A = this chain, B = another copy of it.
Amino acid sequence: MTKNKPKKVTIRDVAEMVGVHHSTVSRALSSETRGKISPAVVRRVERAAEKLGYSRNLMAYSLKQNRSFTIGILIPDLVNPIFPPMIRGVQDVVESVGYTLMSANTDDDEEKEKQSLRTMQERAIEGIIISTAHRQDETVDACISKDIPFVLINRTVDRDGVNAVVIDEDFGVRCALDHLVDLGHTRIAHIAGPHTTSTGHERRRAFEEYVRAKNLRDDLIEETHVYTIAEGHRAFDNLYKRDSSFTAVLGGNDLIALGCLDAMRDLGLSAPDDISVAGYNDMRFLDRMSPALTTVVIPKYAMGKLGATTLMEIVEGKHVEPLVHRLRPKLAVRQSTAAPNRM
């Protein structure tokens, strides 16, 4: 029944045990100031701290230093399987330098994003990883105006002068289309991601450039509003109603590609027999699906890791020139793509 508070041991308890002033203990225990204290005292302090089970009160330390040792991360939805590897990449880096990660799911909703940023600010996060950016993004603008260090991953914004770790979308799209063209496809469709995102926009632009350069049809494009299976399904239906002559389709991401497969199943079509389907990102377990999906694989863990490394450099005050890193993806050829059956 009784709440016996564990009676946290403080720097003063250690000081008392050793018989020195608590400021001496503080200095002895901090690596930056340890040099100012005689080795003998340092040793006695350390021993006493150990014996008493002392551990620094981070809340007090943070208040004094005005640092929280916390980094935030904004993701659309933890349940979307491409994000956990990115998060782990980020987490592994920030933890290794003594920071903690605070994550928020925004469901790609501007309002939730703002709310998340607010609570993160209350927590005095020292920096933030943003994987939810739109090409015009109020949250990014807010970070800039409030001088909160941030690094974009996965998606970037139109304005420049930002740090970002993204994918070489041109290269990714070219890999996928080269593959389809090599198989003999000439009428290739694209179900694009939202044009409000850099990924949707850039992949579409890369697609358009490619097909024009090869003198292929450039009007077999439909756009989604969000990156979901349902939207992929809907957009495929739209396109197919308008023009069903294509023999292959590149989804703006894997979810969209799965939506295409669903739409095809409903239409009595199958991949790759009727239409070849390729995705983008390489979500986990795609290789076990039916059919195993050909896709552009992006380095998710590495992206998180590089983003976090960059952010920590900014936070630690190392001067970092704003830079957009473009990581190179590669193609994984699986069962959902094959030579066209009709010409």
Contacts and interface: CB of A to CB of B under 8 A. Distances in A.
A59 B88 CA distance: 26
A252 to B, nearest CB: 18
A122 B84 contact: no
Contacts of A228: none
A113 to B, nearest CB: 14
A106 to B, nearest CB: 12
Contact of A85 (B79, B147, B292): B79
A230 interface: no
Interface stretch (A60-68, A205-213, A241-249, A274-282): A60-68
A78 interface: yes
Interface in A106-139: 118-119, 121-124
A88 B105 contact: yes
A118 B79 CA distance: 28
B55 A59 contact: no
A136 B185 CA distance: 59
A335 to B, nearest CB: 9
A283 to B, nearest CB: 8
A105 B78 contact: no
Contacts of A95: 119
Contact of A290 (B56, B284, B290): B290
A323 interface: no
A328 to B, nearest CB: 22
Given A79-B284, A289-B290, 5 more contacts: A58-B124, A78-B87, A81-B81, A81-B285, A290-B292
17 contacts: A6-B146, A8-B66, A55-B118, A55-B122, A57-B63, A57-B124, A63-B63, A78-B87, A78-B91, A79-B84, A81-B84, A100-B102, A100-B119, A100-B123, A101-B102, A101-B103, A288-B290
